[in-house]
């Protein structure tokens, strides 16, 4: 067993059952002109975590551990896009409309791709998901069970939307989850802080939190 120094207390794991899930590090959320910007967000702050997510990925790659990348996106015919999601808000550009990086949040378009610095390597799993949580209408649970994973490190964007939703879904399914605090971010700094606090409160009601250095130290120990 190994141990990551974490809040609210150390995270013990068997390296054989540890995997990394990087949530939605897509151009649509991180670059101007994408889905995140269409919602009225200042997307400039999210790019700052890219080098840290890269360090986390490299650490998991060096240790030969399972890596899963998710992408929030929809089929070009929008058949997996609920009307409630399509119609939400008052954006000028909606999911499926054409923006500077192609159709917003549509599989195969430039905006739906993971940012080049974090591009998945051969052998890593890339999971497209139509919802905020990565378990909704995907085979993620089957993948995790098939790979006999029990401990999950989560990173990516945004902390309070897709990362937290996925972490809660995983926690309810019996996985032990830890969020990498400096490898996730939100358009709203206060929401990131609050999310990490609510995840780790009450004895880790949803899971654990630790900075990337602590995770890498444990992997290298």
Beta carbon of residue 3, minimum distance to ligand TIU (angstroms, whole number): 29
> Which of these is catalytic: 73, 128, 129, 182?
129
Structural tokens at position 86: 């399509």
Choosing from 161, 167, 170, 206, the residue that interacts with ligand TIU (CB under 6 A) is 161
Q: Is 162 in the site for ligand TIU (CB under 6 A)?
A: yes
User: What stretches of 63-210 show up as alpha helix (H) in DSSP?
Assistant: 83-87, 140-146, 164-172, 189-204
**How many angstroms separate the CA atoms of 28 and 9, rounded?**
35
> Which of these is catalytic: 28, 73, 128, 162?
162
**How many angstroms separate the CA atoms of 137 and 128, rounded?**
10
Helix (H) or strand (E) holding 60: helix 50-62
Does the annotation mark 77 as catalytic?
Answer: no
Q: Is 93 in the site for ligand TIU (CB under 6 A)?
A: no
Beta carbon of residue 135, minimum distance to ligand TIU (angstroms, whole number): 14
Question: In this structure, are residues 207 and 179 in contact, taking their beta carbons and an 8 Å threshold?
Answer: yes
Q: Is 113 in the site for ligand TIU (CB under 6 A)?
A: no
DSSP β-bridge partners for residue 71: 128
Q: How many helices (H) and strands (E) does the chain have?
A: 8, 10
Does the annotation mark 97 as catalytic?
Answer: no
| Cβ proximity to ligand TIU, 4 vs 27, nearer residue | 27
Tell me the window of 45-53, 154-162, 174-182, 211-219 that interacts with ligand TIU (CB under 6 A).
Answer: 154-162
The number of C-alpha atoms within 13 Å of 185 and in the hemisphere containing its C-beta is 21
Q: Write out the binding residues for ligand TIU, residues 59-88 only, by CB under 6 A.
A: 72
Of 2, 6, 39, 12, the residue nearest 176 (C-alpha)? 12
Does the annotation mark 28 as catalytic?
Answer: no
Choosing from 52, 157, 179, 219, the residue that interacts with ligand TIU (CB under 6 A) is 157
Question: Is the four-CA dihedral 27, 106, 90, 184 of positive or negative sign?
Answer: negative
- Applying CB under 6 A, the site for ligand TIU has a residue count of 11
Tell me the window of 76-84, 85-93, 153-161, 177-185 that interacts with ligand TIU (CB under 6 A).
Answer: 153-161
Q: Is 183 in the site for ligand TIU (CB under 6 A)?
A: no
| Cβ proximity to ligand TIU, 56 vs 219, nearer residue | 56
**How many angstroms separate the CA atoms of 146 and 139, rounded?**
11
Which residues in this chain contact ligand TIU in the complex, by CB under 6 A? 24, 29, 36, 39, 72, 132, 157-158, 161-162, 187
Which active-site residues does the annotation give? 24, 129, 162
């Amino acid at each position: 067993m190994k141990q990551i120094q974490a809040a609210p207390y150390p995270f013990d794991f068997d390296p054989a059952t540890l995997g990394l899930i990087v949530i939605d590090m897509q151009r649509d959320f991180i670059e101007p002109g994408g889905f995140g910007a269409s919602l009225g967000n200042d997307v400039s702050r999210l790019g700052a975590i890219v080098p840290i997510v890269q360090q986390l990925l490299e650490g998991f790659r060096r240790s030969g551990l399972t890596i899963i990348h998710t992408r929030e996106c929809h089929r070009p015919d929008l058949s997996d896009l609920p009307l409630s999601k399509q119609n939400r808000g008052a954006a000028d550009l909606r999911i499926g409309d054409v923006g500077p990086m192609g159709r917003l949040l549509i599989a195969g378009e430039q905006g739906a791709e993971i940012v080049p610095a974090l591009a998945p390597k051969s052998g890593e799993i890339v999971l497209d998901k139509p919802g905020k949580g990565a378990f909704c209408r995907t085979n993620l649970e089957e993948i995790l069970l098939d790979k006999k994973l029990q401990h999950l490190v989560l990173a990516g964007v945004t902390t309070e939307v897709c990362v937290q939703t996925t972490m809660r879904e995983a926690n309810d399914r019996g996985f032990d989850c830890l969020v990498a605090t400096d490898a996730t971010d939100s358009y709203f700094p206060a929401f990131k802080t609050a999310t990490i606090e609510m995840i780790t409160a009450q004895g880790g009601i949803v899971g654990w939190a630790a900075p990337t250095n602590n995770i890498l130290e444990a992997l290298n120990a």
